[in-house]
Amino acid sequence: QATHRIRNRSPFISPASPPWHHYFSLLATFPPVSLESMASKSAVTPKEKEEPSSMADVYNHELTPLQKHVAFFDRNKDGVIHPSETYEGFRAIGCGVALSAFSAVFINGLLGPKTIPENMKVGAFKFPIYVKNIHKGKHGSDSGVYDANGRFVPEKFEEIFKKHAHTRPDALTGKELNELLQANREPNDLKGRVGGFTEWKVLYSLCKDKEGFLHKETVRAVYDGSLFVKLEQERKQAKESAKKK
């Protein structure tokens, strides 16, 4: 099947999307984090210094698909994803400053505490995500393509397109994507809804083709993280080409 070239588009969400005041009110539930604190990872508590080698050991074994999905954002491959790395990763795939900052605060604030190993103390407002335990950070209102252990579930992936790809069997339109998000919603799960909404809308904004289709092969590449690597490489190549002109 032919590979569709991914377009670098503005990552900002359309004003027609669901009301943003819900998302900003959700952000208020997290302690304030400054961009300066996000950019600095040097202040590490003594307890944290005892653990990095064991955290990096995750890469010495076969990663689960969910671990592969997040490993792109572990920029120094030490097994821990800090908010600054999440920010850097989003910038690397083409997201703007505002969306990247929002994603770093929201994703690390939501997932980080769930992945901290038992008996490990982490400094306040650091919100590290531990790749080894990322399966513990799975949010609700999702597609179910990852199971409770972070493994890929092919049947659930195919279900996305069987249920919601009405125009073409191998792609989703923006309207069909909204239908998917609506179907995935769980009661009283605002954080899960925001997580799912952000993930899918950013993906659609970055990767839809000229006709507005988000292709099945592109979505599949998200689940093992290979899409992120491709996006970063394409952006680097585009910058190098621009310099030569």
What pLDDT score does 195 carry? 85
- Average pLDDT for residues 140-160, to the nearest whole number? 94
The pLDDT score that the predictor gives to residue 121 is 86
Q: Considering the entire predicted model, what is its pTM? A: 0.75
Q: Are 191 and 26 in contact (CB under 8 A)?
A: yes
SS3 assignment for 118-154? CCCCCCCCCCCEEHHHHHHHCCCCCCCCECCCCCECH
> pLDDT by residue (tens digit) across 75-121?
999 999 999 999 999 999 999 999 999 999 999 999 999 999 988 88
Distance of CA 108 to the CA centre of its chain: 10
Average pLDDT, the chain: 84
* Residue-range domain boundaries for the chain: 61-137, 139-244
Q: Which pLDDT value is given to residue 205?
A: 94
15's CB contacts (< 8 A; 6+ apart) are none
DSSP assignment letter at 18? S
| Secondary structure E strands in 74-227 | 80-81, 129-130, 171-172, 214-215
What is the per-residue pLDDT for 2?
47
Contact criterion met (CB below 8 Å) for 80 and 130 = yes
Q: What is the pLDDT of residues 17-45, one digit of tens each?
A: 455 455 545 545 555 555 555 554 434 44
pLDDT at residue 97 in the model: 96
List pLDDT tens digits, range 165-223.
999 999 999 999 999 999 999 998 888 898 889 899 999 999 999 999 999 999 999 99
> pLDDT tens, 70-86?
999 999 999 999 999 99
Number of Cβ within a 10 Å radius of residue 96: 13
